[in-house]
Amino acid sequence: MNIIKSAELLAKKKHSGQLRKDGVTTYSKHLEDVVGRLKSLGIVDEAILCAGWLHDTIEDTETSFEDLFRQFESEIAE
């Protein structure tokens, strides 16, 4: 499995059942929109796309920096 798919699956798992502040939009939808926007801007860098999937994971789940650092390279975790 490629690293972007791994980031997507982890983010969706960690944010499962969570809604955005509007109470309607799922985190999955938000993250899909972020990554879709990055791709529409021509971004193809794997680290940036992974960061798009994972950008709220530490803040809004019980995932630590160390968890992300172990699974993904430091650039993505940071």
Q: Please tell me the predicted confidence (pLDDT) of residue 5.
A: 96
Query: What superfamily does domain 3-77 belong to in CATH?
Result: Hypothetical protein af1432 (1.10.3210.10)
Residue spans per domain, the chain: 3-77
At residue 26, φ and ψ (nearest 5 deg) are: -75, 155
How far is residue 62's CA from residue 49's CA, in Å, rounded to a whole number? Answer: 21
Q: Please tell me the predicted confidence (pLDDT) of residue 74.
A: 80
| pLDDT tens digit sequence for 56-73 | 999 999 999 999 999 998
Residue 64: C-alpha distances to residues 40, 51, 71 (Å): 30, 14, 11
| pLDDT tens digit sequence for 21-65 | 898 989 999 999 999 999 999 999 999 999 999 999 999 999 999
- pLDDT over 70 at 1, yes or no: no
- pLDDT over 70 at 6, yes or no: yes
